[in-house]
Chain A
Amino acid sequence: MQQFRLVVLVLSLLPWHVAAQEPQGEIDLSGQVVNAVSGEPVVHAMVQCTAHRQINPVAAREAKTREEIEALFLKLPKPVFTTVFTDGTGSFRCAGLFAGNGSVQVTKPQFEGASENFELSGPKEGLRMKLLPLSAIDGVVKDEDGVPLSGIQMILYQSIVEDGRRIARQYHSQITDEFGHYRFWDLRPAKYLVRAAGRYASGETRAEYMATTAAAESPLAVYFGGARNRGSALLLDLHSGENIPADFKLVTAASHRVIGQIAGKAPNQPLKFELMDEEGEVWSTKSSVNSVTGRFILFDALPGKYRLRVTQDSSPDKLFGSAPLEIKGSDVTDVRIQMRKGVEIPLRIQCAASTPAPEQPVQVVRGISEGFRNRAICNANVVLRDGNGTVVHSNGGQKSILNVEPGKYELSVTPFQSKVTSVQWQGHELVPGTGIDVPAEGAAVGIEIQLGSEEHGTLNIRSSIPDLQENVHLIAIPPVLSLTPPPGGFLMKDREVPMGLPPGDYTIYAYPMASPPEYRNPEVLRTLRGVAVHVTAGKTEQVEIRSLCQ
């Protein structure tokens, strides 16, 4: 019954068109597809036109049974789909549509697809569909003498803001071909970093003696622009339709082999070897493993201090192993690595007595979980981030975090409509800025979280931003950031948006979804425009947003 009610509610939210007449299938829809940047026509683009009707929501509300609702659907005319291609002038014409809800979807390689929905009551002409051209970064990787280097792993990072900090998320990876060439394409406009991470290859053998494929010299890993570390790397600001050339000239240095033994690996599953330097950067490496004995050789390793990290995505558990490593002027031998399952970190979440346990049924009203919207539940989303700020583990609502690789993490806790009053790791209170160090033998005590049941206040937020676009987000930043990410919401064009918050001072910022602010960066935070508010328990305040924060 609950499901049935939900269907009715969902249907009631859909736009409805009262058909004046039965569909004739005689409506034509025509227009032109153009390049959104240059305005030039886009030829041979695929245009998919559809026409369909939706059921009368009044009739849907009056329907008493599932069968009656299904009968309403069956009375609808069959949707019309028409596919055409644009001609030499980018023009198209879809014929045979009927009155109702129409939509046009345009696709073409090397462009981001575009679509538009509208009411179709008669012939429609002059529809102008703009396709945003996608971009590319490519280049040639050479050594100091200008000789192309093949087999170099090129890593593309997209620079994004996540939880208020700018991080570089690995986006793609590619190996240079025999001509030293690489190319990343179909990229959206954004900021990117490119890194030549060293030679990469992996292989398995059963041979007793692993024939050498090592090179006497290997290239030093570097970001485009010459920086050795991510913090000072050059950001490539890629605009729509651009093809940015990013050639590399790599400095080479004498390289060595690392020879050792893996124990505890799963049979017949590939192993991944990574050399992590002291700044957390990964150096690609060529590796060969004897699948019978577990003996391994890494080739082309450069002098430095590393942690050799080995992972195996074996089913059902991921296996991890690591060893510290220092390469000086010669081969390193007798490295021993024990592969182990990841660690389970238990979570203990304690709440005030009034907060229901997560097992308690959560009522769905108007398609939204009441528990999430209006009431606290005794649970929290716990996230572990690596040193680069990337989320690597989360509990997913469960009572433990499974299969965690031993190492250092930052931790954040997001409760559901309650307040985090205490977070302890292995019995010690955690404060913002400190991380956790997960030992290889496991975390007996784990993470203990205390949630408070403080009554919330409400902000009713409305926008007076002229020409407010879609997908504008809100975030409420308290004066002191805690282990809990600041709460957020959406800003609507013509509607007031309620936001429930624990009592206290906040600054509300509005930003387009595509460019979230770096609120954890004090220098950036100072430049942001926001609205200061005070939230009082049980009270509702009105807030007006007049501009975007940046």
Chain B
Amino acid sequence: MKIVVGILGLLPCAVTFAQTYSVSGVVTNGLTGIPLKKADVVLLPEKSEKEFRFLTGADGQFQFQVPEGKYGLSAAAPGFARQGFGGVSKPVEIGVSLYVRAGQDTTHLPMRLFPGAAIRGKISDQNSEPVESAMVQLFRLATVQGRKQVVFAREQYTNDLGEYAFGNLIAGTYYLAASGTPWYAKRGMPMEKSDPDAYRTAYYPGVANAAAAAPLAIAFGQEVRADLALSIVRGQSVNVSCKGNCPARLLAQIFSEGVGGISVYQPVMSLYSPGPAHFGSVPPGHYKVRLRLPQGGQGYLGMSEIDVTNGDVNVTVTASESSVISGDITLEGIDRSLLPRMALRYHSLDDPREWFSKNINADGSFSSPPLTPGRYQIVGTGIANAYLKTVLVGEVETATVAMPAEGVKNVKIAISGRPFRLKGTVLQGGKPVFGALVSLSRAGAGRDDFEAFHGFQTDSDGSFYFDTLAPGTYRLFAVSDGSFEYSNLEALKPYLAEARVIEAGAGDSFTEKIEVMSVKP
């Protein structure tokens, strides 16, 4: 035995045996607690594509032996969409991370999968006959970027039986809208009619006014039926043409303001330049008409507003791909070779349906995809240990960029590689809390200054970190509710007085331990 030890002692230091740790647990149905067989459990290291996989048996148990590190743990099982560990009511990408290291108990992990919810139904017409190709749009009340809002969830066109079905939904509150065109209006009916029949957009439970739409609250595993009848109104033809810099094929969208201010579309039409794209029967109302490039929905080309009242509406939209935000990036303390890995994301503050991202060029220049005019928040992505220091439009520093139809050029963005870094642990009764929401907000921030509000859902060891923070005075606290509105000033207000104040300069690093606050009224 001594000889063996002696030989091992002669091996070069590089040949070492990596310490591994056990990651194990049981995959269960989150509603019934019954173990799930054939669950596909994936453990994905934070910075690698070399995943670890385990297929559960009848007992639902899984076990990995992996090196130290930070992992994403997820599972999917027959009848259960992939969900992240600790996600509870969230899709996989929001699942919190699992730390595997000495002193961290990563055995007996409860991996609970929740069966998806479903909304299905039938869209019918005034004769109770099915409406084919009706556009059914589903919206969800969600906390996005720390603020509760109605967001677009999915859309679907009905089949020949007028049926639609949304499955694998997460539990929550939804709104449903259906729009369409009578089949006979699509097949030449307007030939001799000046005011063709149109379907008025219907919101669940069957109202025409978005403000009167009722929420559909669904729980995991629940299936809700939501049939809608489209009523006939006297509509008008809307002919959309394109002038200016029109590509050969583009998309024409007609939309109005729906639940929570989100856009609700009429069925989208292809437009072959110069058009017109003929919307045979649009119900009365105020609409925006937008032209877009067909691929991927990105690429705004032009917009106009119309009122559909009496008589056909002919609208010509001037297309221009100049409706972009463009400019240059200045780097402070960051290697320029990292520029192509960085991207800027453009969030519309006017329509939550609108957000796009695009890479920064290697020379430091950038330009957004063509954007719908409005107010935008620019957010840096793919940039670890850096923060957007300033956004200058001309000489004016701004939190939001207001973009007119012609676009905004000469935007100067400074990205600093000397952020203020904050890490720490959330405790409750002295024990780390997994999945708590850490709120960090800069003092004096305005409502639309999204860059000033930060949230983090704690990892398996109760830890949190922020590494893209601008220097300033911040308030830090944690709550147990993972969906807390950390960007909503009203929601923050009751907690700020007891929050920890942190004064941070460029390059500062802090480590904090904070206790979960009790819920404030």
Is A441 an interface position by the 8 A CB rule? no
Nearest CB in chain A: distance from B493 CB, A? 37
B160 touches A211 (CB 8 A): no
A185 touches B166 (CB 8 A): no
Q: Which residues of A lie under 8 Å from residue B187 when comparing CB positions?
A: 46, 107
Q: Which residues of B lie under 8 Å from residue A181 when comparing CB positions?
A: 165
A147 touches B160 (CB 8 A): no
From the candidates B79, B93, B167, name the one contacting A177 in the complex (CB within 8 A): B167
Q: Which residues of B lie under 8 Å from residue A85 when comparing CB positions?
A: 184
A147 touches B116 (CB 8 A): no
From the candidates A83, A148, A211, A216, name the one contacting B189 in the complex (CB within 8 A): A83
Is A183 an interface position by the 8 A CB rule? yes
Q: Which residues of A lie under 8 Å from residue B130 when comparing CB positions?
A: 109
Bits for B465-479, please: 1 = Cβ < 8 Å to A, else 0.
000000000000000
Distance A529 CA – B143 CA, assembled complex (angstroms): 73
Is A110 an interface position by the 8 A CB rule? yes
Closest to A180 in B: B167
Q: Which residues of A lie under 8 Å from residue B79 when comparing CB positions?
A: 147-148
Closest to A269 in B: B295
Is B510 an interface position by the 8 A CB rule? no
From the candidates A44, A107, A217, name the one contacting B40 in the complex (CB within 8 A): A217
Closest to B74 in A: A212
A202-210, A304-312, A469-477 - interface stretch: A202-210
Distance A82 CA – B193 CA, assembled complex (angstroms): 10
Closest to A254 in B: B55
Enumerate B147-185 residues with CB–CB distance to A below 8 Å: 159-160, 165-168, 183-184
Enumerate B71-86 residues with CB–CB distance to A below 8 Å: 72, 76, 78-79, 81-82
B168 touches A183 (CB 8 A): no
Q: Which residues of A lie under 8 Å from residue B188 when comparing CB positions?
A: 48
Q: Which residues of B lie under 8 Å from residue A217 when comparing CB positions?
A: 38, 40, 55
Bits for B187-223, please: 1 = Cβ < 8 Å to A, else 0.
1110111000000000000000000000000000000
B55 touches A150 (CB 8 A): no
Is B385 an interface position by the 8 A CB rule? no
Nearest CB in chain B: distance from A180 CB, A? 9
Nearest CB in chain B: distance from A97 CB, A? 13
Is B118 an interface position by the 8 A CB rule? yes
Nearest CB in chain A: distance from B497 CB, A? 40
Enumerate B46-95 residues with CB–CB distance to A below 8 Å: 47-49, 51, 53, 55, 72, 76, 78-79, 81-82, 93
Distance A148 CA – B80 CA, assembled complex (angstroms): 10
Q: Which residues of B lie under 8 Å from residue A212 when comparing CB positions?
A: 42, 44, 49, 51
Interface of B, secondary structure class, is mixed
Distance A210 CA – B118 CA, assembled complex (angstroms): 29
Nearest CB in chain A: distance from B193 CB, A? 8
Interface of A, secondary structure class, is loop
Is A179 an interface position by the 8 A CB rule? yes
Bits for B325-351, please: 1 = Cβ < 8 Å to A, else 0.
000000000000000110100000000
Known: A44-B127, A109-B132, A206-B343. A297 touches B49 (CB 8 A): yes
A216 touches B40 (CB 8 A): yes
A83 touches B191 (CB 8 A): yes
Is A346 an interface position by the 8 A CB rule? no
Q: Which residues of B lie under 8 Å from residue A10 when comparing CB positions?
A: none
B160 touches A136 (CB 8 A): yes
From the candidates B40, B49, B160, B189, name the one contacting A209 in the complex (CB within 8 A): B49
Distance A212 CA – B71 CA, assembled complex (angstroms): 12
Chain A CB count within 10 A is highest, among B78, B81, B359, for B78
From the candidates A48, A143, A178, A292, name the one contacting B118 in the complex (CB within 8 A): A178
Bits for A338-371, please: 1 = Cβ < 8 Å to B, else 0.
0000000000000000000000000000000000
Nearest CB in chain B: distance from A140 CB, A? 12
Is A37 an interface position by the 8 A CB rule? no
From the candidates B38, B160, B191, B341, name the one contacting A208 in the complex (CB within 8 A): B341
Nearest CB in chain A: distance from B87 CB, A? 14
Is A435 an interface position by the 8 A CB rule? no
Nearest CB in chain A: distance from B198 CB, A? 16
Distance A292 CA – B55 CA, assembled complex (angstroms): 34
Q: Which residues of A lie under 8 Å from residue B82 when comparing CB positions?
A: 213
Nearest CB in chain B: distance from A30 CB, A? 19
Distance A179 CA – B159 CA, assembled complex (angstroms): 15
Closest to B45 in A: A209
A46 touches B116 (CB 8 A): no
B160 touches A81 (CB 8 A): no
Q: Which residues of B lie under 8 Å from residue A334 when comparing CB positions?
A: none
Is A541 an interface position by the 8 A CB rule? no
A179 touches B40 (CB 8 A): no
Q: Which residues of A lie under 8 Å from residue B160 when comparing CB positions?
A: 109-110, 136, 183, 185-186
A216 touches B184 (CB 8 A): no
Distance A44 CA – B124 CA, assembled complex (angstroms): 14
Distance A212 CA – B73 CA, assembled complex (angstroms): 11
Is B382 an interface position by the 8 A CB rule? yes
Closest to B82 in A: A213
Q: How many residues of A contact B (CB 8 A)?
A: 41
Q: Which residues of B lie under 8 Å from residue A185 when comparing CB positions?
A: 159-160
Is A467 an interface position by the 8 A CB rule? no
Bits for A117-154, please: 1 = Cβ < 8 Å to B, else 0.
00000000000000000001000000101011010000
Bits for A263-304, please: 1 = Cβ < 8 Å to B, else 0.
000001010000000000000000000001000010000000
B129 touches A83 (CB 8 A): no
Closest to B191 in A: A81
Q: Which residues of A lie under 8 Å from residue B191 when comparing CB positions?
A: 48, 81, 83
Nearest CB in chain A: distance from B363 CB, A? 15
Bits for A202-238, please: 1 = Cβ < 8 Å to B, else 0.
0000111111111111000000000000000000000
Enumerate B333-391 residues with CB–CB distance to A below 8 Å: 340-341, 343, 359, 382
B184 touches A211 (CB 8 A): no
Nearest CB in chain B: distance from A218 CB, A? 11
Distance A217 CA – B343 CA, assembled complex (angstroms): 35
Q: Which residues of B lie under 8 Å from residue A83 when comparing CB positions?
A: 184, 189, 191-193
Nearest CB in chain A: distance from B370 CB, A? 13
Distance A43 CA – B341 CA, assembled complex (angstroms): 61
Nearest CB in chain A: distance from B78 CB, A? 4
Nearest CB in chain B: distance from A148 CB, A? 7
Distance A270 CA – B193 CA, assembled complex (angstroms): 42
Chain B CB count within 10 A is highest, among A148, A150, A178, A259, for A178
Distance A522 CA – B184 CA, assembled complex (angstroms): 48
A211 touches B72 (CB 8 A): yes
Closest to B42 in A: A212
B159 touches A183 (CB 8 A): yes
Closest to B116 in A: A178
Enumerate A31-53 residues with CB–CB distance to B below 8 Å: 43-44, 46, 48
A46 touches B48 (CB 8 A): no
B184 touches A107 (CB 8 A): yes
Known: A81-B191, A147-B79, A292-B359. A206 touches B382 (CB 8 A): yes
Q: Which residues of A lie under 8 Å from residue B78 when comparing CB positions?
A: 143, 145, 147
B359 touches A82 (CB 8 A): no
A150 touches B167 (CB 8 A): yes
9 pairs, A vs B, C-beta closer than 8 Å: A109-B183, A110-B160, A178-B165, A206-B341, A206-B359, A206-B382, A214-B42, A215-B76, A217-B38
| Closest 5 pairs (CB-CB, A-B) | A178-B167, A147-B78, A185-B160, A216-B40, A178-B168
Residues of A within 8 A of B (CB): 43-44, 46, 48, 81-83, 85, 107, 109-110, 136, 143, 145, 147-148, 150, 177-179, 181, 183, 185-186, 206-217, 259, 268, 270, 292, 297
Residues of B within 8 A of A (CB): 38, 40, 42, 44, 47-49, 51, 53, 55, 72, 76, 78-79, 81-82, 93, 116, 118, 127, 129-130, 132, 159-160, 165-168, 183-184, 187-189, 191-193, 295, 340-341, 343, 359, 382
Contacts A109-B129, A212-B42, A217-B38 aside, 16 further interface pairs with beta carbons under 8 A come to: A46-B189, A83-B189, A107-B187, A109-B130, A178-B118, A179-B118, A181-B165, A183-B159, A206-B343, A207-B382, A209-B48, A214-B42, A215-B40, A268-B295, A270-B295, A292-B359
